[in-house]
Amino acid sequence: PEEWILVQHNFGEIRHIMWNYVGIVRSTLRLNRALRRINLLYDEIMDFYKRTVIQNKILELRNLVLIARLIIESALERKESRGLHFSTDFPENRDPSSTYTERWRTS
């Protein structure tokens, strides 16, 4: 059916959103924009999921949009730059002694 073309399009759109807005250099503005777009895709995908015979591609797409949402929401919660992920809103790295993992490694 024609709707399966939209499934393929949605894969590409998720990839595009994640690459352009949720990459290594992040900002709250871009993350919020990505979340709005991913939420729109989520609604569209879930509507299609509910009225379609389940196939692997639609399951994969549903899982992908859920993971994208989790990544964006987690990135919005982080108020620091850490590792490779640099936030233009929080350019300073957190003091390593303030995290459990870093304290454990240094003891």
The CATH number assigned to the domain holding 31 equals 1.20.58.100
Q: What's the pLDDT band for 6 if we cut at 50, 70, 90?
A: confident
pTM attached to this predicted model: 0.75
> How high is the pLDDT of residue 89?
59
Query: Domain tally for the chain?
Result: 1
pLDDT tens digits for range 32-86:
999 999 999 999 999 988 888 888 999 999 999 999 999 999 888 877 666 555 5
> How high is the pLDDT of residue 100?
53
> How high is the pLDDT of residue 52?
84
> How high is the pLDDT of residue 99?
55
Q: How far apart are CA 18 and CA 55, in angstroms?
A: 24
90 vs 18, more confident:
18
> How high is the pLDDT of residue 4?
79
Domain range for 79 is: 3-106
